[in-house]
Amino acid sequence: MGRVLRVLHRQWGIDLAVKTPKPEAFGTDEQRERFVREAEAWVALGLHPNICGCHYVRAVDGFPYLFAECVGDGSLHDWIADRRLYEGGPAVAVARIVDLAVQMAWGVGHAHAAGLVHRDVKPANVLLDIQDGDLVAKVTDFGLARSRPIAVEDDGGPSHGAGVPVSAGGRTPAYASPEQLSNRPVGKRIDVFSLGVTVLEMFTGGPRWGSGPFANDTVRERHGSASYGPGLLPLPPELGDRLERCLDPDPDQRPGSMAAVARELADTYRELTGDRYWRLEPKAADLRADELNNRALSLLDLDRDVEVADAFAAALAADPQHADATLNSGLWRWRDGEITDEELVADLDAVRIDTDDAWPARHALGLVHLERGDLANARTLLERVDHEQPGMRDVAEALDVLGSGAVPDADCVGTTEVRWNPPSDDDSYASLVTEFGKERRRPTVDAQRVHEVLSVMEVPRSSDASYSDRFCATTVLHGDLNQIHETATYGWQLGVEPS
């Protein structure tokens, strides 16, 4: 994946992991698009306690970045390497290993239910999170192995290196099933195989085989006998029998689903500890409006407008009073000329009322007023938010802009009523009305375009007035295209031209 950075999401108030792929991972546009599709499939998995959630994908300088859940207690590979996995004595460690195995099966099984095969289950792709003393397994990097088209030689020989095995061609050879290594058609049972290898490694302390098909030989070598090395645990016969089934070279002989694997592992837990397995199988939560809103923004970065609309609609269906989704959806539609700024303000004001004047709605309203040039309302709203939520960087930046004088006030300072004299050509008139309608919905308008519109209206120019590059205009149409009069209300800033 290249580098992984830890960043603070200012609005959510949580840390996220930003995954930055290596530039050489995308030799072609097709590879980049495949990476984005795989990442979006991971995002679509939603929230599950045994999955490291991917919140959204954003393009930065044309390069995709993944923003995922930050899990700060290391990977299963780390815990095996530094022997934290075996703390507390053999009985406690065996119970911990089987518990983690059940959780991994649940996480991968959730992806399977959503139609997504991981393809690269291994200890480095399992993150561990200590939650109130409880060790939780979270499977990560769903589907991303397939977007790493790198050829690697595999001689099948022993591998005793302490480094992290590297993915190649959609797999890591030490954990790959025979059908993956032979490039045969694959299905969900390749993940069953790789999970079996991962559980085995928790007893061997590292991959003692060059490629996945040799892992079952390791199971048979020490099945129920001594440990695989100092500080490690013997493989219990009850677990070894079940791992042999997971590692069968024939995929049809492996367990048919991750749910079946989880049930068998839960039975193993009871057999080894004498206690019933205590966790209940979790259910996935629906995507929150936050995730859907950010997914829409990532699609917007990727110029996927149809999917942007669907994602914003889903976010607002999940939470009709979600201020950020209302703001971002409205800004997108306003800037595209689909709605007016007045409609966006009305939508956000409705959210503010429905949420009892909550600060997120006032924050969103303040930003819109700033963009549309209503500086008085922008200042009132943003100063209140700054007082209630001190330290918000984007609020401080907006207030700095307000105080800089860089944004002109777009208040209307005068109105007049003129008659519309449409061109005789109906098509050119319709084109002009459409163009004018789009211009007036934008927050800023070029001064030359203002003069062009006003000249069509036959507005007399004053020698002692200059038109502002920000103006407001509303139209009321009467009649059909052959006999149309329009009343236009517009504003300008008076100022004496320099002599």
Contact at 8 Å (CB) between 170 and 160?
Answer: no
| Residue 373: C-alpha distances to residues 244, 322, 368, 437 (Å) | 69, 24, 9, 19
Pairing of strands 126-131, 63-69: unpaired
Is 409 annotated as catalytic?
A: no
Which one from 99, 120, 141, 290 is the annotated catalytic residue? Answer: 120
Structure token pair of residue 238: 């009850």
Which of 416, 95, 463, 110 is CA-nearest to residue 257?
110
Burial of 56-65, coded b for 16+ CB within 10 Å and e otherwise, reads bbbbeeeebb
Which of 207, 203, 210 is CA-nearest to residue 224?
203
Distance CA 196, CA 267 (A): 16
Contact at 8 Å (CB) between 344 and 328?
Answer: no
Distance CA 433, CA 475 (A): 10
488 phi-psi bin (left φ>0, alpha ψ -120 to 50, beta other): beta
Strand partners, 63: 60
DSSP annotation of 279 = P
Residues 6+ apart with CB under 8 A from 240: 219, 223, 224
Which of 409, 442, 410, 488 is CA-nearest to residue 341?
442
Please give the positions annotated as active site: 120
